[in-house]
Amino acid sequence: MKNMRKIIIPILVVIVLLVGYKLFFSPSAVRNSTPTGENIICFGDSLTFGTGATENMDYPSQLSRMISKPIINAGDPGDTTAMAMARLEEDVLTQSPRIVLITLGGNDLKNRISKENAYQNLKNIIVSIQDRGALVIVGGISIPFWGRGFGEMYQKVCKETQALLIPNIFDGIIGDKSLMSDSIHPNDMGYTLMAKKFYRAMKPYL
């Protein structure tokens, strides 16, 4: 009997630990992990458009070369989340989206638009794209001191929509003069790092 207990107790401990891990540490499900549609689309503001980059060195162009597939660059400098919503139908939803990479919210932050408004707009954008069967990957922004909680906003909206999140697309880039064309926009090398971050996120779903 004692020998049996010595065998059973460790087994029960292992089972409890495995169940606890799955409950508390397993990643959230990703909506549309097997996406439909045809096109990979980068949708966003100047970070998507490639402000500060030389020709064909914006992150969508570099990412396209990494995956050897065409990518639609639907970036528009200055776009807030509200402005992006206004062109969502034409620039994304009608383009047979398969995977959509988003950089939005930076202009909301810069223009002092509330994170609540940015959250609702971004959620509407993400869900509208997902409803077409596409996988959504969001490049978030988390800036110390003057970020106004936008980092947490990205975490919240991606958790609720089951979109993939890169918590801070600027991580390791902003503040490094060798990677920036100005105080806000990367240079060619900075966009290379952005492209690599998106590549790592999307690679399992290509």
Tell whether 147 is covered by a domain: yes
pLDDT score of 149: 73
Tell whether 162 is covered by a domain: yes
Tell whether 6 is covered by a domain: no
Q: How many domains does the chain contain in total?
A: 1
pLDDT surpasses 80 at 164: yes
This prediction has a pTM of 0.85
The range of the structural domain enclosing residue 53 comes to 29-205
Rounded to the nearest integer, the mean pLDDT of the chain is 88
Tell whether 152 is covered by a domain: yes
Rounded CA-CA distance 38/36 in Å is 7
Tell whether 194 is covered by a domain: yes
84 φ/ψ sector (left φ>0, alpha ψ -120 to 50, else beta): alpha
pLDDT surpasses 70 at 18: no
Average pLDDT over residues 60-84: 98
pLDDT surpasses 80 at 23: no
Tell whether 167 is covered by a domain: yes
Characterize 92-121 residue by residue with b for buried, 16 or more Cβ atoms within 10 angstroms of its Cβ, and e for exposed. bbebebbbbbbbbbbbbbeeebebeebbeb
80 HSE (CA, 13 A, CB side) = 15
SS (H, E, C) 152-197: HHHHHHHHHHCCEEECCCCCCCCCCHHHECCCCCECHHHHHHHHHH
Neighbours of 34 (CB within 10 A): 8
The domain that contains 183 carries what CATH number? Answer: 3.40.50.1110
pLDDT score of 145: 54
Cβ atoms of residues 160 and 123 within 8 Å: yes
Percentage of the chain with pLDDT > 90?
78
In one letter, which amino acid is 146?
Answer: W
Tell whether 2 is covered by a domain: no
Rounded CA-CA distance 187/181 in Å is 5
Model confidence over 25-35: pLDDT tens digits? 334 589 999 99
Tell whether 12 is covered by a domain: no
